[in-house]
Structures are given as structure tokens and as C-alpha cells.
Structure 1
């Protein structure tokens, strides 16, 4: 089961930096991310979502591949495989992009937008779904980037460890 973690950061680019760091740590198998999204609230207060998984692009690519395959097969039956390939790829890419745009994978967009309204203008937040994490190795990597924990589905102990690491608190509660 995955855990949801939402952390806000000062600056519009900080959440992107943290996500890049988490993706590096994922390559080292220290964390397993299911989904991630950066929410930016610009200086005017407008909310922008930056999905880590581009469903439209993936859908178009997948649709083009399947459309090309089936188009070629239909084209072979009609003795014109190149026209079938081209038509199949075009139709497949269009339907794949449409299905990608209409699907909502992972974290709910409406939840991210409503939570994004609670962060300061000119700041950002990172929403992640985590399957597995090695807290002992990941938290020290994230400490220099700061952040404030907004919401989690972690246990109370794990949430407190995360909060202390990101907000720079030692065990006595005094800022370091």
C-alpha cells in the first residue's frame, strides 16, 4: 500500500529540486515512488500542476504503436499495408492521447488544487505517493532542502521523523 506525503516549500522551484533528488534516490533503490506531482502557486496566486507522469504523451505513443500494428494487419488484408500503417498510427495516437488526457492516475487533481490553495503565493508543494522508503538514508538527503509537512498518511512516528528532518528540528524541538 502506498503512502501519501504532501510537503510545501518556499520558492516556486524548490519542489522540482526535491522531486529530482527523489528520482535520483529512486535509481539507487532507496525510495519507490508510485506517483508524484509538483504544485506551484505563482506570485499571482494561480495554481499550476506539473505531473511527473505524462499520461497524454504515454497514451499517444502507446496508441500509435498499437494503431500501427493493427493498421498494418488490416492493410495487409486490403493489399495496402503502408496506408493501413499510416492510418492506424494516426488514429491510434489520437485515441491514445485522448484516453491519457481523460484518465486520472495516482493522486487526485482536485485534491492537489484545493490543497495548493493553502500554500503561500510564490511557493510550491510536492505531492508524492510512496510505495516504500528507507527513511534512514532518504531523510538526510532531503534535510538541506527544508520544507513543511502539510499532510501524510504515514504512521505518527514516521510523520514526526519526516517533520523533524525537513523542518530542521532536533529532539528538544528547538530549531537547528
Structure 2
């Protein structure tokens, strides 16, 4: 089975809070089934030049939840063999949650963190950027909604086709995509 590739879109904003507002708007579109996000990260560069990454998926919490349930199941099963399923469930849940949290903290999902940090380092102080990995979307409806950020945002990088990238740039009030450097 072949899976469709996701599109990476990175949009820079003129202030520190606009990327968060744009992510909130994307989450609203996702609830309306107009946008399907695989991953999203907000990068904020403060006045002192420090980068702050806000992941939309907390892998540590997801790992702990998964570990809690799977550990509880396996612990209860082993406890049942030892005639004490409650003790096995409790012990398995604790061990599973801890192991899941560690695994979640050490894993990377979606957009590569090194790429985010390297591109994020290029944005000016007191600005922000939104990195989104889009599985699928309803482009006309999404672009119409993104027009609220017109004049305050610019496309930094995409994996979109040139035609779709130009449509996104037009929705944000930018000129057509710059010609690639020779």
C-alpha cells in the first residue's frame, strides 16, 4: 500500500505570538476536517535571540499513557499467573508508564528537530515561525482562512508544488516564489 507524502510548510511571522495564533487556526480547521496535520511546531525567537520550540504533540505524555495501559495489561496477565492480578496490574502500570515516558522523550516524530532548529535560527529576533506537516487539506478553504494573516506572514520553505506554493504566497500577500539561486 502506498501512502501519500505529507507536505512541509514553514511560515514566518512578524511577531512572537502570531505563529501560535496560526497554529490555533490550523487546529480549528483540523476539527472542521479541512486540514489533516501530521505534526506542527511553533518556533519563537525572543529579543535576546533564544529559540523556544513548542511541539504540538507531547511525545512524553503519549508514551507514558501508552506504557501505563500496556504495562497494566501485561502486569495483570503475569499477576494472574502468580494468583495476584491486582498487584501485577499496579506494578505493570508503574513500570509501563515510566518506560513509555522515557521512550517518548527519546523519540522524534514528524518534523526533524535539527531541521527546525537550523531554520529557526535564521528568523529575526522578536518573531516566530510555524512548521506544519500536512497530510491532506482542502486547499481553497484553508487558503481563504489563512488570508487573515495577510501581510504579517511570509513563506520560508515548502515542499509544495510551485503552483500551490504560489497560491499560498498569494493568500499571505507575498509575491510569487523567488527564482532559485544559480
Report the TM-score, using the length of structure 1 for normalisation: 0.92
Q: Check the 8 A contact 2:71/2:94 in 1, yes or no.
A: yes
Aligned to 2:160: 154
SS in 1 for 2:172: helix
Q: Check the 8 A contact 1:143/1:168 in 2, yes or no.
A: no
Q: 1:165 aligns with which of 159, 168, 171?
A: 171
**Distance (Å, rounded) in 2 between the aligned partners of 1:87 and 1:167:** 57
Aligned to 1:81: 85
- Runs of 4+ with >3 A deviation: none
For structure 1, the residue ranges without an aligned partner over 5 or more in a row are 171-176
Q: Check the 8 A contact 2:154/2:174 in 1, yes or no.
A: no
Q: Check the 8 A contact 2:63/2:97 in 1, yes or no.
A: yes
Aligned to 1:101: 105
Are positions 1:50 and 2:54 aligned together?
yes
For structure 2, the residue ranges without an aligned partner over 5 or more in a row are 177-182
The alignment of Structure 1 onto Structure 2 pairs a total of residues equal to 170
Report the TM-score, using the length of structure 2 for normalisation: 0.89
SS in 2 for 1:43: coil
**Distance (Å, rounded) in 1 between the aligned partners of 2:106 and 2:121:** 23
Aligned to 2:73: 69
* Range with greater deviation from structure 2 (77-86 or 101-110): 77-86
> What is the RMSD of the two structures over their aligned residues, measured on CA atoms?
1.4
Deviation at 1:167, TM superposition (A): 2.7
**Distance (Å, rounded) in 2 between the aligned partners of 1:13 and 1:92:** 37
Aligned to 2:20: 16
Deviation at 1:40, TM superposition (A): 1.0
